[in-house]
Amino acid sequence: MTINWTSLKPVRLLSFIAVASLTFGMSAAKAADPEKIVGPNNCAECHIKETAAWKTTHHFSTFRALPKSKEATEIAAKMEVKRLKADSLCLGCHFTSQSVSGSPTSISGISCESCHSEGKEWYKVHSGFSGKKEGQESAAEIKARWEKSEAAGMIRPKKTYTLAKNCFTCHLVLNEKLVNVGGHKAGSKFELVSWSQGEVRHNLWKTKGKSNPEASTERKRMLFVVGRIVELEMSLIGVGKATVKKDYALKMAKRAGTARKVVAQLAKLLPEAQELQEIAATAKAVELKLNNEAQMTEAAGKISILGLKFAAEHDGSAFGAIDKFVPGPKKYKGQASN
């Protein structure tokens, strides 16, 4: 079977009606709460190797690089943003901001807590071994420790759907004005396996820093499918925020159209994955058009619930049928450190 992952049916953006209300979906990304940020230096106390790996990434270097960029100055000017590192519009996606004497201050680029969530309420819990020494907790205590950490917001690697969705809150720019007026990209050519297994990779804890292995084959299959489901969910939300037939609407509709097609193809390849069948059917039923937020949000909501279930109920071991589509090392974004 040949599958062309990038082919795209002409997306139906027909029913564009002239719009009276130009409400720009302002901020779609859930920005981290500066009050709850402890900062990467705190994580580094124990996670030395992960921190060293992070320091080789664009997520780290952008802290110094972005404010010097001419493109950033131009976008900021069009958006009437005076200071990149202080205005919440850019801050939420480009920096980590911590509350210092009551006011949000950018302290680094995209850091640990941008991906694992704000640490204040869980970072001592997750590492505290329930007040005992490592190895001395009961199974019930270990379970309770992780439950408590998750309840306080920690995004653990095994929460694959939430983990992936978090990447997309930044890597898809669900802000019509920022794209149409500011000239910002509508998002990255993001694919979860290739974008997580290169420079971002830091599987260094379980190996005690001795090596930084790629995710297992089964895990990569899960990352691949989950990434595509999240992309579908988020791009539908993105289309829902489109009010005028300009760059933003066209990019989002194209993206949603492609994501929908890819998920339909994956559903065919994995007929035993019931949630995937339902996700494909849900997406097929929506009309990708302007000013259709209610329908888009409803479909995205359904997909989110099904996606969470999919991620929780499968481990990828039965998904060999998709192996040839999962990107290999040549496609990885940047170089993983060791």
Q: Footprint of ligand HEC on this chain (CB under 6 A)?
A: 29, 38, 40, 42-43, 45-47, 50-51, 54, 58-59, 62, 66, 69, 71-72, 75-76, 79, 81, 84, 89-90, 92-94, 110-116, 119, 123, 126-127, 156-158, 163, 166-167, 170-171, 173, 175, 178, 182, 184-185, 188, 195-196, 198-200, 202-206, 215, 219, 333-334
Q: Least distance from C-beta 267 to ligand HEC, angstroms? A: 23
Phi/psi-derived region of residue 155, left when phi > 0, alpha when psi is between -120 and 50, beta in every other case: beta
d(CA 328, CA 276): 23
Nearer to ligand HEC, 50 or 275 (CB): 50
For ligand HEC, give the closer residue by CB, 90 or 253.
90
Distance CA 257, CA 235 (A): 9
In whole angstroms, what separates CA 133 from the centre of its chain? 35
Q: Least Å distance between CB 128 and ligand HEC?
A: 8
C-alpha triplet 269, 225, 325: angle, nearest 5°: 60
Looking at the Cβ atoms of 203 and 235, the one nearer to ligand HEC is 203
Nearest distance, CB of residue 218 and ligand HEC, angstroms:
11
Distances (CA, A) of 256 to 259, 296, 316: 5, 11, 24
Residue type, 255: R
Contacts of residues 300-305 at CB distance under 8 Å and 24 or more positions apart, as own/partner, are: 300/233, 300/234, 300/236, 300/237, 300/240, 302/278, 303/229, 303/232, 303/233, 303/236, 303/279, 304/161, 304/165, 304/233
Would you say 238 or 257 has its CB closer to ligand HEC?
Answer: 238
Collect all residues with Cβ–Cβ distance below 8 Å to 5 and sequence separation of at least 6: 262, 265, 325
CA angle 31, 34, 37 (to 5 degrees): 105
Report, in Å, the least distance between residue 139 CB and ligand HEC: 12
In angstroms, give the least distance from the CB of 155 to ligand HEC: 8
> Distance between CA 251 and CA 185 in Å, rounded?
9
For ligand HEC, the closer CB: 200 or 306:
200
Give the nearer residue to ligand HEC in terms of CB position, either 130 or 277. Answer: 130
Which residues have a Cβ under 8 Å from the Cβ of 278 and sit 6 or more positions away?
302, 306
What is the amino acid identity at position 277? Answer: Q
Closer residue to ligand HEC, CB minimum distance, 111 or 282? 111
Query: What phi, psi does 312 have (nearest 5°)?
Result: -80, -30
Least distance CB 12 / ligand HEC (angstroms) = 26
Least gap, CB of 229 to ligand HEC (angstroms): 15
Nearer to ligand HEC, 113 or 275 (CB): 113
Cβ distance to ligand HEC smaller for residue 12 or 210: 210
Q: Is 82 exposed, middle or buried (0-12, 13-18, 19+ CB in 10 A)?
A: exposed
Q: How far is the CB of 306 from ligand HEC (least distance, A)?
A: 21
Tokens of 196: 């997580």
Q: How far is the CB of 308 from ligand HEC (least distance, A)?
A: 16
